[in-house]
């Protein structure tokens, strides 16, 4: 695709737009607070597959339509009807979609513009960085419906905020505001509502200014390293460090530094 031409692709429940080297993925069900049902999960997967496979995309901004919710959680109407087998299959499908987002190889910024509950909080946690408006609310209220979290909440939340805080949120099913989410490390920044997307763009652009291969390997090293021991993570880091040392971008980056100029990375 030509990076000079904005691309808009509308799915039933998700809007995908590319402007320059940034892809914008918007959950587009504002009447139900962008709740996640099976078709929406499917559309979300499709949108992120587009972002992954488009070499011109350097980063993704994920948000929700309207001014009330990022993603308010699961579609309870659908959830109420599922059997045990369907629930397990649905959980695994949602987890696979969020693994795709987390392992995209490109930074994904969650621009949280309202409620991020249940699957919404889980979706935000799968993103590389989370920023939120002051009025945003976060929580894992699944136990109030007779269920544990099913989209990775029991795994990603303790890794982000620690076991004790995660246990309290998950077992109580309570909500926290943006200030508390920031205090415990669940989100990176609180920004004014009218600056939310602009700030996400600034973060993407600051990352996109760096060597693409180094960014991808750094993302992989952090994500994969968290799933292993520190010593194994260090071996992985050294391997990626060596691979990047053989790239043209490494030659360009070091040369630009020594010559006191801005580097021109080509992603190879």
- Catalytically annotated residues: 122, 142
Can you tell me the distance from the alpha carbon of 152 to that of 134, in angstroms, rounded to the nearest whole number? Answer: 25
**Number of Cβ within a 10 Å radius of residue 145:** 14
Is residue 167 within 8 Å of residue 227, measured between CB atoms?
no
35: which residues sit within 8 A by CB, 6+ positions away?
A: 29, 71, 72, 73, 74, 75, 76
Name the strands in the sheet holding 175-177, side by side, starting at the edge strand that comes first in the sequence: 69-71, 115-117, 137-139, 175-177
CA distances from 99 to 94, 116, 207 (A): 9, 18, 21
DSSP H/E element including 185: none
Can you tell me the distance from the alpha carbon of 97 to that of 173, in angstroms, rounded to the nearest whole number? Answer: 23
Q: What is the DSSP string of 189-212?
A: EE--GGGHHHHHHHHHHHHHTS-H
Can you tell me the distance from the alpha carbon of 17 to that of 5, in angstroms, rounded to the nearest whole number? Answer: 11
């Amino acid at each position: 695709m030509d990076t000079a031409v904005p691309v808009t692709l509308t799915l039933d429940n998700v809007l995908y737009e590319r402007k320059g080297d940034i892809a914008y993925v918007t959950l587009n069900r504002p009447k139900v607070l962008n709740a996640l049902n099976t078709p929406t999960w499917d559309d979300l997967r499709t949108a992120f597959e587009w972002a992954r496979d488009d070499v011109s995309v350097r980063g993704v901004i994920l948000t929700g339509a309207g001014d009330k919710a990022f993603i308010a959680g699961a579609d309870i109407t659908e959830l109420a009807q599922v059997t045990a087998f369907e629930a397990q299959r649905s959980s695994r499908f949602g987890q696979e979609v969020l693994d795709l987002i987390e392992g995209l190889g490109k930074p994904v910024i969650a621009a949280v513009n309202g409620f991020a509950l249940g699957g919404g909080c889980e979706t935000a946690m799968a993103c590389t960085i989370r920023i939120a408006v002051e009025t945003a609310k976060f929580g894992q209220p699944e136990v109030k419906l007779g269920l544990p979290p099913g989209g990775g909440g029991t795994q990603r939340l303790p890794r982000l905020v620690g076991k004790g805080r995660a246990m309290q949120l998950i077992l109580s099913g309570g909500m926290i505001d943006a200030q508390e989410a920031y205090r415990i490390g669940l989100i990176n920044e609180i920004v004014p509502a009218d600056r939310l997307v602009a700030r996400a763009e600034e973060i993407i652009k600051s990352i996109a200014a760096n060597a693409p291969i180094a960014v991808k390997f750094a993302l992989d090293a952090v994500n994969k390293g968290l799933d292993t021991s520190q010593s194994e993570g260090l071996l992985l880091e050294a391997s990626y460090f060596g691979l990047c040392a053989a790239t043209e971008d490494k030659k360009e980056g070091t040369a630009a530094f020594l010559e006191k100029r801005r580097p021109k990375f080509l992603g190879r």
